[in-house]
């Protein structure tokens, strides 16, 4: 289970130290892929394999196109976690998420995966989500 918000720094080589409480779930390898709203998804190998199997089944049922499945597979990368608990984020994924070398990023838990965010984008997304949760709570309490 991945929860919490962790501020990190990308080093000049594009490496990112995973939060210590996440590392054991990602070692020795994990997968990076395009996430929703412009983040990078970080999935444990077993979770990624489950997602891949589900996609293959969706293609068979006609719920997803082969082109969509191919795109997900082509844009995912397998990475190793080094002895310092770091992963290397390739240039294409950094560009997708708006991450610059030697800058702050947010690693946020999303229950079944971690997400790597441009800090400003994460703050915007988090504010939207928090506002919706607060509005729903107010609505529920006045009903």
Q: What is the pLDDT of residue 142?
A: 78
- Taking only the tens place, the pLDDT of each residue in 131-141 is 999 998 888 88
What SS3 class is residue 72? helix
Share of the chain above pLDDT 90, in %: 92
Q: What is the pLDDT of residue 137?
A: 87
Instruction: Return d(Cα 18, Cα 14) in angstroms, integer.
Output: 13
Residue tagged 């229950």 (tokens): 111
Mean pLDDT within 89-102: 95
- Taking only the tens place, the pLDDT of each residue in 52-95 is 999 999 999 999 999 999 999 999 999 999 999 999 999 999 99
Mean pLDDT within 29-45: 96
Instruction: Return d(Cα 141, Cα 86) in angstroms, integer.
Output: 44
Residues contacting residue 100 through CB under 8 Å, at least 6 positions apart: 10, 94
pLDDT at 24 over 80: yes
Q: Rg of the Cα trace of the chain? A: 17
pLDDT at 143 over 80: no
pLDDT at 36 over 90: yes
Instruction: Return d(Cα 117, Cα 115) in angstroms, integer.
Output: 6
Mean residue pLDDT of the chain comes to 95
Number of domains in the chain: 1
46 C-beta neighbours (distance < 10 Å), count: 10
Mean pLDDT within 8-19: 96
pTM of the model: 0.92
Q: For residue 29, what are the domain limits?
A: 5-142
The domain that holds 94 is classified in CATH as 3.40.1550.20
Which H or E element spans position 115?
A: strand 114-118
């Amino acid at each position: 289970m991945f929860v919490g918000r962790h501020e990190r720094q990308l080093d000049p080589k594009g490496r990112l130290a995973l939060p210590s409480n996440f590392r054991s779930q990602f070692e020795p390898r994990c997968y990076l892929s395009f996430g929703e709203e412009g983040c990078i998804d970080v999935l444990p190998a077993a979770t990624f394999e489950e997602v891949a199997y589900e996609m293959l089944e969706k293609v068979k049922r006609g719920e997803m196109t082969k082109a969509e499945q191919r795109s997900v597979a082509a844009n995912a990368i397998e990475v190793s976690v080094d002895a310092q608990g770091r992963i290397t984020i390739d240039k294409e994924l950094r560009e997708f998420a708006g991450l610059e070398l030697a800058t702050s990023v947010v690693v946020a838990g999303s229950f079944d995966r971690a997400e790597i965010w441009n800090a400003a984008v994460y703050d915007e997304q988090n504010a939207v989500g928090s506002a919706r949760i607060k509005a729903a709570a107010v609505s529920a309490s006045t009903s």
